[in-house]
Structure 1
Amino acid sequence: MFAEVNGIRMGYDDEGEGDVLVLVHGHPFDRSMWRPQAEHLGGAGFRVIAPDLRGYGESTVVPGTTPLETFARDITALLDHLGVDRFLLGGLSMGGQIVLELHRLFAGRIRALVLADTSAPAETAEGKVARRVLADRLLREGMDPYAAEVLPKMVAPHNIRALPAVADHVLGMMRATSPEGAAAALRGRAERPDYVAMLGRVTVPTLVVVGTEDEFTPVEVAEFTHRHVPGSRLAVIEGAAHLPNLERPAEFNRVLGEFLGRAVATVAA
């Protein structure tokens, strides 16, 4: 499906009926990373909306710099287009940081948060330089060398061997991403605000998820977020790296489904 919002054409999936769950993909992926969750929850009383962020998947590529605020406003424009006011919201990695930005801007619209394999602090000085250097590299080399290099961090090496279809899917998403779109996101992400202080003001049900073997956002990063969000739940997925929703979909879906069921009941009470 497609919608014209904020001057771009945005691709998205809209599956199931019931309480609306919006899922935000990470970098450098697309909305297909949420297919196991959309299929599971879309048939279990939820309406799952998964957009392609600008610069990714089937959405318009806008070179330059894309701040997290732009991604957040694109998503809310899509939800306005679809007539959705309040929603459950989840994201992974960069998608989790976009979720935090959405909370900063539109907290009153959010019923619950899912923060998967992501971090709340602002980028470090060294990290800012590294993201800008990587952005330039992607424009110079394309996505293929980077994709091959980071695959063993996105998907645990033992899962690359045991789950070749998952590894192929992840590699395919990365290779298909526009270098211009990825570079714009990297530059914007380098300048992201610090969300740590905001974590203590989160009042909606919150689930923090992380894979035990995640090198990008290790378990201690998730534990930090969990400690700072009042009443949050922490779920650590064994045998997964940065993409537990794809590496361990059954366990991820079980944890997510149980949390969302409780969150809906709590909000409705």
Structure 2
Amino acid sequence: MTVQVVLVHGIRTSATMWRAQADHLRSREIPVTAIDLPGHGSRMDEEFTLEGALQTIDLAVRRAAANGPVVLAGHSMGGLVSIEYVGAEDRPPVDAFIAASCTAIPRGVGLSTYRMLARGFDSLPDRGMWLTNRVLDATLPLETRADFGAGGYAFDAQDTALKSLSVLDLLAALRRIDVPTWFVNGQYDQLRLNERLFRRMSPDAELIVVPRTSHLVTAMRPRVFNALLDLAIATVERGGTQAGASPDS
């Protein structure tokens, strides 16, 4: 059976952020599903709930699993929710997992500060889009620049989504994950805060740090991330033995 890939976007963005990865996988004839979480993309008119996000991931994974083993990849908020999902006590049908830009525990002062900054940014004229566009223009390559916001920006869901992350029991979930796992961070990613803790909780996981890259690793270095997807797919195809990456490469 052919390996299937399910992709989960980060906060404010949508399934369109994965266009470079989806195109790459389709060129390899690998079935891929990039989902929109509640309150995001094509579901912008819905309310974001953590339960709804987990249900959305579960539905996509189980549909994919009917056709083959599943590689699940999540970015940022999507990665955090996916950690909770993959590490559930009732183990889901996931055969390999890539958690990108999400090695931070979303609680306490850090989360409160992030929410405060996000609300302040959202209160700016044009909801801060002039600054967002300048940053993206300066950091993303032309091939992915249009993809990141093509599904719209989920401004209204942002604070609710951030608040909901505080109830995640990521440490317990990380201990339970028993499939090949990769933590992928940009060198300058602000969410590397608890990177060492995540590695201690998942000692068999690989850590990949992409040089000269920020939080938006999938869009800034699409070919690198595509290669990591290829690695995960090859690992599943050869029977689930994780190999091929240095822990600190």
TM-score by structure 2 length? 0.80
Name the residue aligned to 1:54. Answer: 38
Of 225, 234, 238, the match for 1:261? 234
CA contact (8 A) 1:156 1:213 kept: no
Name the residue aligned to 1:6. Answer: none
Q: Structure 2 counterpart of 1:261, which letter?
A: A
Mapping of residues 26-105 of structure 1, within 5 Å: 26-63=10-47, 66-80=48-62, 84=66, 87-105=70-88
Of 181, 201, 208, the match for 1:235? 208
Name the residue aligned to 2:247. Answer: none
The C-alpha deviation readout for 1:162-191, integer Å capped at 9, x for no partner, is: x35644543x348x22433334323323x3
Cα distance in 2 for residues equivalent to 1:240 and 1:198: 27
CA contact (8 A) 1:87 1:110 kept: yes
User: Structure 1 residue 109: deviation in Å?
Assistant: 1.3
Q: Structure 2 counterpart of 1:230, which letter?
A: P
Cα distance in 2 for residues equivalent to 1:151 and 1:266: 43
CA contact (8 A) 2:61 2:93 kept: no
User: Structure 1 residue 108: deviation in Å?
Assistant: 3.4
2:201 maps to 1:217: no
CA contact (8 A) 2:100 2:184 kept: yes
Cα distance in 2 for residues equivalent to 1:134 and 1:54: 19
Name the residue aligned to 1:14. Answer: none
Cα distance in 1 for residues equivalent to 2:81 and 2:236: 20
Cα distance in 2 for residues equivalent to 1:169 and 1:185: 22
Aligned to 2:213, the other structure's residue is in SS state coil
CA contact (8 A) 1:89 1:110 kept: yes
Aligned length: 239
Relative contact order, higher structure (CA 8 A, sep 6+): 2
More strand by share: 1
TM-aligned CA distance change 1:247 to 1:149, over 3 Å: same
Cα distance in 1 for residues equivalent to 2:231 and 2:63: 29
The C-alpha deviation readout for 1:35-86, integer Å capped at 9, x for no partner, is: 11111122325211111111111125224xx343320112223455667385
Cα distance in 1 for residues equivalent to 2:203 and 2:107: 23
Aligned to 2:43, the other structure's residue is in SS state coil
What is the alpha-carbon root mean square deviation over aligned residues? Answer: 3.1
TM-aligned CA distance change 1:260 to 1:72, over 3 Å: same
Q: Structure 1 counterpart of 2:51, which letter?
A: E
CA contact (8 A) 1:61 1:181 kept: no
Mapping of residues 93-242 of structure 1, within 5 Å: 93-105=76-88, 106-125=90-109, 127-128=111-112, 130-131=114-115, 134=118, 138=122, 144-149=126-131, 157=138, 159-160=139-140, 163-164=141-142, 166-170=144-148, 172-173=149-150, 176-189=152-165, 191-214=166-189, 216-218=190-192, 221-242=194-215
Name the residue aligned to 2:244. Answer: none
Identity %: 24
TM-aligned CA distance change 1:204 to 1:151, over 3 Å: farther
CA contact (8 A) 1:61 1:178 kept: no
The C-alpha deviation readout for 1:185-233, integer Å capped at 9, x for no partner, is: 23323x332312331222100011111122x313x54344233213111
Cα distance in 2 for residues equivalent to 1:115 and 1:83: 19
Aligned to 1:239, the other structure's residue is in SS state coil
Mapping of residues 11-30 of structure 1, within 5 Å: 18-30=2-14
Q: Unmatched 5+ residue regions in structure 2?
A: 242-249
2:219 maps to 1:246: yes
